[in-house]
Structure 1
Amino acid sequence: MATHILHHPRRHITLNEHLPVDHRLSKFYRVGAGLTGLVLLAFGILGLIDKVGFFDTGDNTIAGLNSNGALSVLSIAVGLLLFVGMVIGGNFASTLNMVLGIAFILSGFVNLTLLEREFNPLNFRIQNVLFSFVVGVMLMFFGMYGRVSATLPHDNPYWKGRHPEQAARDAARRARRQRGQGSEAG
């Protein structure tokens, strides 16, 4: 019955498999990192221009979100890190988007517990928590796109990396078809 599963070697899949440098997915990862980095950088710079205290917990809003100096500096740092990911591109940008996406989602949960408390070092309010969740999901989408799915197309480099035998058979089949078409044209 299921004995074929026991005898088939299971391949360990990692997210750092090779992606060709010029692959179209790299542009998608770069755009995601760049756009998100730009939003965070703008938010952080506007917060610093407003000269809010570093750990101030008042009603200091920037673009509808509460802020303070610490959150502004953190936003600038993460925005710059996303710009680095945009410049490097490829697997690095994808993995960075995923890791920072998880960090934003976790930050949303942590800061949700700190709402209305005396200790709220980043001056989060509910709109900041929601923003953190939205940015986290957006970064996760930008990082996972084309990498994580049960229905990746067979020309996808991640699918090829996870199914090398099938990819080799598909390539051989395409080569035979091209040879057959070439001899008919000649």
Structure 2
Amino acid sequence: MKLDERRPAEHRLSVVYRVGAGVTGLLLIAFGVLGLLIRLPLFDTEGQVIAGLSTNGALSLISVTVGSLLVGGAIIGGTFASTLNITVGIAFVASGLVNLAVMETDYNLLAFRIPNVIFSFAVGLMVMTFGMYGRVSGGLPHDNPFWRQRHGLPRPPDGEAEPQPRRVSTIGLSE
């Protein structure tokens, strides 16, 4: 599926992608910076608890990096922010699953504990939902850029009224 990259950044759906990505990114940056200020060892499997979550130097660096990526997506907006949110959300859920599997082993390189796994699942689902908002649904309005793209309708030139598609009744006759 090819997405409409020409969609204006100020489209009302972009607000959800931007706010969701921006707030989540800022929280991740704050968490990561707190971990970096303590100068935690890079791959300490025990970690130290900050804001209720266990962290080490590697997890702090990853948090700042992913948070910066989400803030960047919030600044860019549009389809990029939506796709970025979906991708980061999937990565968070996958990270929760992987770290749940290695939690009590020597491979727990990010010092994850159960609160970290729950946080990873919750943030992943939340960010994924932000990205899917207005993009994945059976009842999208006809002015939605994703609906228009799926139905092969071109984006109307700026300032022109959008053509309304024909409505079809349940018995197949045009209304």
Please give the range of the TM-score, normalised by the shorter of the 2 chains.
0.7 to 0.9
Moved over 4 A (4+): none
Equivalent residues in 2 for 1:32-181, closer than 5 Å: 32-164=20-152, 171=163
**1:77 aligns to what SS in structure 2?**
helix
Contact kept in structure 2, 1:67 and 1:124, CA below 8 Å: yes
Count of aligned pairs between the two proteins: 160
Letter in 2 for 1:57: T
- Displacement, 1:173? 7.3
Report the CA distance between 1:135 and its aligned residue. Answer: 0.8
- How far apart are residue 55 of structure 1 and its match? 1.0
- Which residues of structure 1 form unaligned runs of 5+? 1-12, 175-186
**Within 2, Cα distance between the matches of 1:25 and 1:163?**
19
The Cα of 1:94 is off from its aligned counterpart by: 0.5
Cα distance in structure 1, aligned partners of 2:45 and 2:9: 45
Contact 1:20 1:157 in 2 (8 A): no
Q: Which amino acid aligns with 1:127?
A: P
What's the CA shift string for 1:149-181, capped at 9, x where partnerless?
01111121111111236x99x81679xxxxxxx
Larger radius of gyration: 1
TM-score normalised by length of structure 2? 0.84
* Amino acid across the alignment from 2:32: G
Whether the 8 Å CA contact 2:47–2:56 is kept in 1: the answer is no
> How much is the aligned-residue C-alpha RMSD, in angstroms?
2.1
C-alpha distance 83-127 of structure 1, shift in aligned 2 (>3 A): same
SS of 1:129 mapped into structure 2: helix
Shift of 1:102: 0.5
Identical positions, percent: 57
- TM-score between the two structures when normalised by the length of structure 1: 0.80
- Give, in angstroms, the shift of residue 17 of structure 1: 2.4
Q: Pick the structure with more helix per residue.
A: 1
